[in-house]
Chains A and B, each alone.
Chain A
Amino acid sequence: MSSKMSTGSQLENANPVIFQRSGERLLTASEEDEDVHDPIDDREIFDLIRSINDPEHPLSLEELNVVEQVRVKVNDAESTVGVEFTPTIPHCSMATLIGLSIKVKLLRSLPDRFKIDVHITPGTHASEEAVNKQLADKERVAAALENSSLLEVVNQCLSTRSI
């Protein structure tokens, strides 16, 4: 996976628009009942990915509107999860890394039966097709995750921030 890491102090998007974070999800009585089958829904998937850190800013993907609940589609019965993410600028060099972080978060959190597809929101990135193809190639994703320096960057994106 050839995701370029920006190492200098130059920010690609110096003044991103910041969005409001969602409130805590309210648990329903049936969700708390262990005897009731409780399929995984869009909001639960969104909760897993909304606090992922942006690689560049001390902000979450939700605060940058990179991920939105309406762009999460889960079908528990068919074990599929689709997530579209929107890079903050069309030439964002972090797009692959952000997509990889979302994918890794979901791979680690969901049962193995789920097929996880992570794509760029159509029309929002100059290299949309190339980034989507890399993210869909599980062999390249597996190789990327065996690269310790890349894995470290992904884990940083996935680490819980202390605010």
Chain B
Amino acid sequence: MKQALSLVQKLSAHPDSRCWFVSWSPNGALLASCGGDKTIRIWGHEGDSWICKSVLQDGHQRTVRKVAWSPCGNYLASASFDATTCIWKKKEDDFESLTVLEGHENEVKCVAWAPSGNLLATCSRDKSVWVWEVDEEDEYECVTVINSHTQDVKHVVWHPTQELLASASYDNNICIYKEEDDDWECRATLQGHTSTVWSLCFDATGERMASCSDDRTVKIWKEYPTDSGQGNLSWKCVCTLSGYHGRTVYDVVWCRLTGALATACGDDAVRVFKEDVTANPDEPVFSLVAQVTKAHSQDVNCVAWNPKEAGLLASCSDSGEIAIWRFQEED
């Protein structure tokens, strides 16, 4: 089987700045990017190419680190080094700032919407994870502050179907949280990485999670049932992908359509791994099936699979660029 990543288009998205993160809208039609120039840009398809549809500025005073679309696609949340999270509402072709979530002591590193769209999680260098509740009036209220990490929290991500939240930290650990009587509690701490965990992604079913780290590895974690079904959750590392990445792995993303796993690395490369479907599910085997060693001229910060178009991958870099790739498999 021949597999390759081919370049569709490169965009100078955040010139003279870093592009930190890209995120596809739920219908796959728009791509939001953010960066060190304090702006958020919205990219859309026009004819044969991707163009900038709108620029969201004046929302943040410092770097915009990450952005996240609500599951309905009508809202965009942006996490900034200015210690705030902005909520933007889509209005026809533009976006307006709806509200600003304040409370973190310093840089907000990540924001993520729960699958229901009623909850939002943020995390910060202040070591905390906050869960916010959204009501029908577009009012946001912080319902919990969780302090399970001992260091800077880099990433938060929700389970694809359940109200289960995971976070990754500079303390090398991953925490998984569940709500218990109106309180969010850490129900599992996943230890194994030997340096900062930069990103996390659940697979389509939510039974497994991929993590990536400054230790240059990617780990696959699997949930195992516990005796009582109550109390702590049991997640075990079932696979470690080592030897593939030359520097820090900044992002890992699991395609919900194809199961392909893509990584963004500080060695400028974008890589795609596929699982050997014949392997024992308790000892999965992943192989490198495609890579572009000089995908960007500088560190790759993020990779994102289009949620509707199988094989369409976006990446972004310290060079300020976005690249759109097509991952093709030929039988």
Chain A interface residues toward B at CB < 8 A: 112-113, 115, 133, 136-140, 142-143, 146
CA distance A155 to B36 in the complex (A): 20
Kindly identify which residue among B65, B195, B297, B319 contacts A139, using a CB–CB cutoff of 8 Å: B65
B-side interface mostly: loop
Judging by beta carbons under 8 Å apart, are A142 and B18 in contact?
Answer: yes
List of B residues within 8 angstroms of A133 by Cβ: 170, 195-196, 214
Q: Residue B109 at the A interface, CB < 8 A?
A: yes
Kindly identify which residue among B152, B266, B297 contacts A140, using a CB–CB cutoff of 8 Å: B152
> Can you show 19 pairs from A to B with CB atoms below 8 A apart?
A112-B297, A112-B318, A112-B319, A113-B297, A115-B247, A115-B267, A133-B170, A136-B214, A137-B170, A138-B299, A139-B154, A142-B18, A142-B36, A142-B63, A142-B81, A143-B81, A143-B125, A146-B62, A146-B81
Q: Which of B152-176 contact A (CB under 8 A)?
A: 152, 154, 170
Closest residue of chain B to A114 (Cβ to Cβ) is B298
CA distance A140 to B214 in the complex (A): 13
A143 and B107 in contact, given A136-B214, A138-B299 (Cβ under 8 angstroms): yes
Other than A136-B248, A142-B36, A143-B107, give 18 A-B pairs with Cβ distance below 8 A.
A113-B297, A115-B266, A115-B267, A133-B170, A133-B195, A137-B170, A137-B196, A137-B214, A138-B318, A139-B109, A139-B154, A140-B125, A142-B18, A142-B63, A142-B81, A146-B62, A146-B63, A146-B81
Closest residue of chain B to A138 (Cβ to Cβ) is B299
CA distance A115 to B247 in the complex (A): 10
Judging by beta carbons under 8 Å apart, are B170 and A143 in contact?
Answer: no
CA distance A146 to B81 in the complex (A): 9
Q: How far is the CB of A121 from chain B (nearest CB, A)?
A: 20
Kindly identify which residue among A113, A136, A137, A143 contacts B63, using a CB–CB cutoff of 8 Å: A143
Closest residue of chain A to B196 (Cβ to Cβ) is A137
Q: How far is the CB of B260 from chain A (nearest CB, A)?
A: 26
Closest residue of chain A to B247 (Cβ to Cβ) is A115
CA distance A143 to B152 in the complex (A): 12
Judging by beta carbons under 8 Å apart, are B298 and A113 in contact?
Answer: yes
Judging by beta carbons under 8 Å apart, are B298 and A112 in contact?
Answer: yes
Q: How far is the CB of B104 from chain A (nearest CB, A)?
A: 13
List of B residues within 8 angstroms of A143 by Cβ: 62-63, 81, 106-107, 125
Closest residue of chain B to A117 (Cβ to Cβ) is B247
Q: Which of B106-121 contact A (CB under 8 A)?
A: 106-107, 109
Q: How far is the CB of B213 from chain A (nearest CB, A)?
A: 12
Q: How far is the CB of B82 from chain A (nearest CB, A)?
A: 9
List of B residues within 8 angstroms of A137 by Cβ: 170, 196, 214
Q: How far is the CB of A129 from chain B (nearest CB, A)?
A: 10
Q: How far is the CB of A133 from chain B (nearest CB, A)?
A: 7
List of B residues within 8 angstroms of A113 by Cβ: 297-298
Q: Mark B80-93, 1 if CB is under 8 A from A, else 0.
A: 01000000000000
Closest residue of chain A to B109 (Cβ to Cβ) is A139
CA distance A136 to B299 in the complex (A): 13
CA distance A162 to B278 in the complex (A): 70
* Nearest 7 A/B pairs, CB to CB: A143-B107, A146-B62, A143-B81, A112-B298, A146-B81, A113-B297, A146-B63
Q: How far is the CB of A146 from chain B (nearest CB, A)?
A: 5
Q: Mark B132-163, 1 if CB is under 8 A from A, else 0.
A: 00000000000000000000101000000000
List of B residues within 8 angstroms of A142 by Cβ: 18, 36, 63, 81
CA distance A139 to B106 in the complex (A): 13
List of A residues within 8 angstroms of B247 by Cβ: 115
List of A residues within 8 angstroms of B63 by Cβ: 142-143, 146
CA distance A105 to B176 in the complex (A): 40
List of A residues within 8 angstroms of B214 by Cβ: 133, 136-137
CA distance A67 to B74 in the complex (A): 53
CA distance A2 to B297 in the complex (A): 30
Q: How far is the CB of A108 from chain B (nearest CB, A)?
A: 13
Q: How far is the CB of A3 from chain B (nearest CB, A)?
A: 14
Q: Mark B245-280, 1 if CB is under 8 A from A, else 0.
A: 001100000000000000000110000000000000
CA distance A135 to B95 in the complex (A): 37
